[in-house]
Amino acid sequence: MVINNPGSIVERVKEDYQDEDYLFTIPGGSKLLEPWRKFKNKLAEEQGLKFGVSYTSYYQKASENNLGPEDDAASYDLDISGNWAFTQRGTGSEGLLGFSFFKRDSYGSKIPPQRLFSQVGSLYSSAAPYGENDFVLGELWIQKKFNNKWGFRVGKLFPITAYDFFPFKNFRTDFVDFHNITNAAIPLPGNGYGGFIQYRPMPRLMLRFGVHDANADVEKSGIDTWDGETFKIIEAHWDTGLAPRIPGRPPAGAIAVRLWQQDERDDAGIDDGWGISTTVNQKLGRYTPFVRLGYANVDTDINANAPTPAELVASTGIAIDGIFGQANDRIGIAYTWSDPADASLDHENMIDAYYRVQLTPTIEFGPTVEYILEPVRDPEEDSTFILGARARIAF
């Protein structure tokens, strides 16, 4: 029973443990890292503890910046994540402890990529996760499965990686814009306290219900900050069964529907709301097309403080693997149409694309490009390009 989105701790660590197809090796690099690999593999085999360290660097440059003085931004993400199967490993009823620590900061620029959208007038961030955070505990949770049918997770979670399943929802390796990393029509909270239960009534159907702190802040959230204002979500996932499924991995094709509700956040001045969304994706050989639709029932008055930046969102795209014959290289492109929750703003159209390639066993690199047609907060500008470059080291 798979519980994790591609950007989750479990999936990231699992992928980093796999041997990747790569272009070349740095002389002496593999030999230098061999003791480290053996140490990690021994811990995984004997103790059920898997972990990884990664450093992702990201740079963006905007073609126009009419709303602010900055036209470029750079940031890094240092991540230490792992999971420990502390009981009943390999039985389908294992208990798992998940943890992550990270630090993010800008470098060589006055703002991080997370805030570059404020300079160009876009509806939402062009690189939502690449911000500024002190070294912090991102997640710490307990997960338990029961015969691969029932399961739960509780603790300090990152809801973005627990709900709204999307195969390319990993900002370190795939899309980077706000909608494709989170969801512009769902106010998924940040890292904070909460939990979910999951039930699989039949092999191809999964149901999940979760409750989380609506005011979660990764640097502040604690038991003493919980004030009863919650975000609630229920999801149903159907495995299409159109392509073989790899055991222990997400389905190759899925149809998902979700319904959410968020309480009014008094101190933050955010209205309440509810919404519904769906995602359809299907892997067909090297190609994975997808469609995502979302509706948020929120107050759209000009002076309203809606919980989501968009009332309606529709996006579609495709990811293609093995572009130049390498198993791990991928190109992804997505088109997103957004109807802002703020009634004073017009529709926005955006194209987000990326390419990634595994250069060495530990280094991945690739460019990104975002094209924003008529940024909604800059009526004087017809369009804006945001070019980017991303590099990741994982060991």
Q: For residue 3, what are the β-bridge partners? A: none
pLDDT in the model for residue 58: 98
Q: For residue 281, what are the β-bridge partners? A: 254, 290
9-394 homologous superfamily: Porin (2.40.160.10)
* Residue 201 and residue 41 in contact, taking contact as beta carbons nearer than 8 Å: no
With a CB cutoff of 8 Å and minimum separation 6, the contacts of 225 are 213, 215, 217
* Residue 156 and residue 192 in contact, taking contact as beta carbons nearer than 8 Å: yes
* Residue 122 and residue 384 in contact, taking contact as beta carbons nearer than 8 Å: yes
At 40, give phi and psi (nearest 5°): -65, -45
pLDDT in the model for residue 3: 58
Q: Which of 160, 157, 155, 158 is nearest to 142 (CA)?
A: 155
Distances (CA, A) of 151 to 170, 197, 321: 23, 6, 32
Q: Which amino acid is at 184?
A: A
Mean pLDDT by 10 residues, the chain (395 residues): 73 82 81 89 93 97 93 97 91 91 95 96 94 94 91 94 92 95 94 95 94 91 72 96 78 94 94 96 95 94 86 97 86 97 93 95 95 91 95 94
* Residue 299 and residue 314 in contact, taking contact as beta carbons nearer than 8 Å: no
pLDDT in the model for residue 86: 92
pLDDT in the model for residue 229: 95
Domain residue ranges in the chain: 9-394
Distances (CA, A) of 323 to 8, 202, 317, 326, 329: 25, 36, 16, 7, 6
Reduce the secondary structure of 278-342 to three states and give it as a string: EEEEECECCEEEEEEEEEEECCCCCCCCCCCCEEEEEEEEEEEECCCCCCCCEEEEEEEEEEECC
